[in-house]
Structures are given as structure tokens and as C-alpha cells.
Chain A
């Protein structure tokens, strides 16, 4: 240990160590990448199917993949992906991306709307970092189920979802997570209204 305080040895040592460890990490990453990508793909597909309310109760990843490929079409929409459910070549419903700030981090998700733009088919969150047990409950079925078959034909107020008990309210906010609930309805109102308006013009 005595004579090692030269400049060169530490540098060589660090470079070597960095080389070896980084190489190992690269190998591990390469090996597991397909698994991770497959997981992520299936997770997204599951969510999109759930938005359209056509997710089977129990399905293997392969089944989900095939259902997804048979029924869903992708389209670019404002730099993001818009998913379209097709039946016999006709558009049945859209899964529209929405995003916005949450309490701790940004929230991303999809809201499904029937092609008449009057009924919601469902909602899913792709990314959210809200407090578990409070704001995080937006990812729980109880909250999400409220959006199933929600009638949004009356959007004259410029808002399609409103937290109860405000006038015209149609969604129960989460107790103890007022901020998150408000953020979610705001981002839906903004992004989905935008989508509805562009579709109506077409």
C-alpha cells in the first residue's frame, strides 16, 4: 500500500474497474432487454385493452398481444400515440392520451372515448407518482370504474369531467387527495376536449 500515491496507478485502476464493470452491466442489460421490453409492451397493451373495456379477465401475455394486434390500430397524434379500436374496418373507439402535472410528478394516461365522442369507455394511467394510498388510488379500480360508460355528451360547460359535489359533478374525488383529483380532471378536460374539438372539425 505504501508507494501507491502516484497519479498514474489510481487513474489506471479506475479506468480498468470502470471498463470491467461497465462491460458486465452492458452484457446483463443486453440479455434482459427483450424481457423488459416485452413486459413493458404487454403492460401498455393490457392498459389500452382495459381502456376499451375489452380486456379478458385472465389472459396470458401472448393472448393479450394477439387480441391487441387484431383489434387496435395506432396513429400518431400530437407527438404521441392515439389508439383506435376497430371492428369490421370501422372505428369504434379511441384511446386518447392525456398528461399533466400531478402532486409529485407528471401523470400520463389514456382515456377511451366511443367514436360518437359521447361516451367514455374507460381510463388507465400509464405513469403516476402520487402518494400511495392517497393520490395513488387513482390507479385503483374503484376510481377508474367511475369512468366506464360515463356520459359526456353534455360538455357545454367546456368540462367533460367534474369532481362532485360541484354542480354537474360526475366523478367522486379521492378523499384526502383533493390536489390529485383536481389535477386529473383538469388534464382530462383540457386534453380530451382538445381531441373532441379537433375530431368534430374533421
Chain B
């Protein structure tokens, strides 16, 4: 891992070419669960980005002294450490948000994105690139969450970030509020992203 780190590649990978949700198709549980309101998605996404960034940083710092065969245990340990901090922070300073997100904050621990980045990147790279990689992956996740939430909140409640956008006469699509709504929206977004990626690849040839 000597030489310069290609940050540009890290960023474009995490956001589009290797987006955790759209391409790797991981972290779906929370994507389907919290995206009925844009505000929830934003806080969830930021929380995840912070946790991923710091746990990647820590795991990368420990990578040379971590015994190989217990590395997964160490990773989960470090991840839960940061998730509990986030949980405490939300409870203390954003009690309302902590209540709406409820169990999903605790479930960040099991979000495959964090573990995935730890295994795929942090365990073999220097601390700072790992931190960036983790954070940008989290942002890539946040963007997808917001896209899904945008459609779901608009159609399900007629509002965005709690502000009413569509007229009162608009009939909310109850389906969008429930988890199945995300099952419809997410694949559509995946499909669009797939086409964008393929077009760009085609152009390069």
C-alpha cells in the first residue's frame, strides 16, 4: 500500500461505481426501514457515515497488531463502540430523533456497509484513507437514502423534511409510507444508476 492514495477513485467508487447500496446491495435493512421521512434518512445517513469513518480509522490503526483470525471480532467490537456513542449522543442532544429512529440506531452495528468497508478497505490501508473511504461510503449511502426518502415522503405524506409541498387535496399514497414502498422505489433508483454507469463505461471505450 505504498505510494499515493487515489482519493478521487475512493470518492467516485463510493458514490457511484461501487456505491454500497446501489452496487454492492448491502445495508438494505435500514434503507427500507427509515426512508419514509427525509429527516430520518438524513440523520440516519450522517450517523452511519460518522460511525463508518471512525471505525474504519480505528480498525486501520489497529490493523498491524490485530491477530488475523480474530479480526472480525475486533471489528464488530470497534463498530459497536462507536454506535453506542452515537446512540448516547442522539439521546442526549436530539431526543426526538432518537425516538423516531429507535431501534435502527442500535442496528447500525449490523449494517454491512461498516463491516464491509472495514474488511474491504480499512484492514489493508492506512488510517487517513480509511477514514475518508468510510466517510464517503457513508455519504454514498446517505444520498441513496435521501433519494428514496424524497419520493416516499413526497408521495406518502405530500411533504419534504416535514414541510408540506403538495396541496391538501393530494391523496397520500399510503403504500409509500410502509416498507413495501421502498421495495418499489429502491430498484427504480438502482436501475437508473445502472444505466448511468453503463453509459459512462461505454463512452470511455
Contact mask A1-39 → B, CB, 8 Å, 1/0?
100110001100110011001001100110010011001
With known contacts A14-B74, A18-B77, A21-B77, A29–B88 Cβ distance under 8 A: yes
Tell yes or no: B2 within 8 A of A by CB.
no
Tell yes or no: B68 within 8 A of A by CB.
yes
Scan residues 150-202 of chain A and give those whose CB is less than 8 A from a CB of chain B. 176
Tell yes or no: B81 within 8 A of A by CB.
yes
Contact among A1, A131, A176 for B68, CB-based, below 8 A:
A1
Interface centre among A9, A132, A134 (most CB of B within 10 A): A132
- Tell me the bound Cα distance from A28 to B77 in angstroms: 17
B70 touches A14 (CB 8 A): yes
Question: How many residues of chain B have a CB within 8 Å of chain A?
Answer: 30
Contact mask B82-95 → A, CB, 8 Å, 1/0?
00110011011101
- Tell me the bound Cα distance from A148 to B158 in angstroms: 28
Tell yes or no: B198 within 8 A of A by CB.
no
A132 touches B69 (CB 8 A): no
With known contacts A13-B65, A129-B102, A39–B78 Cβ distance under 8 A: no
A36 touches B88 (CB 8 A): yes
Q: A residues touching B (Cβ–Cβ < 8 Å)?
A: 1, 4-5, 9-10, 13-14, 17-18, 21, 24-25, 28-29, 32, 35-36, 39-40, 43, 129, 131-134, 176
Q: B residues touching A (Cβ–Cβ < 8 Å)?
A: 36-37, 62, 64-70, 73-74, 77-78, 81, 84-85, 88-89, 91-93, 95, 100, 102, 156-157, 174, 177-178
Q: A18-B77, A28-B85, A35-B93 are in contact. List 16 more A-B contacts (CB 8 A).
A: A4-B67, A10-B70, A13-B66, A14-B74, A21-B77, A21-B78, A21-B81, A25-B84, A36-B91, A40-B95, A132-B37, A132-B100, A133-B157, A133-B177, A133-B178, A134-B177
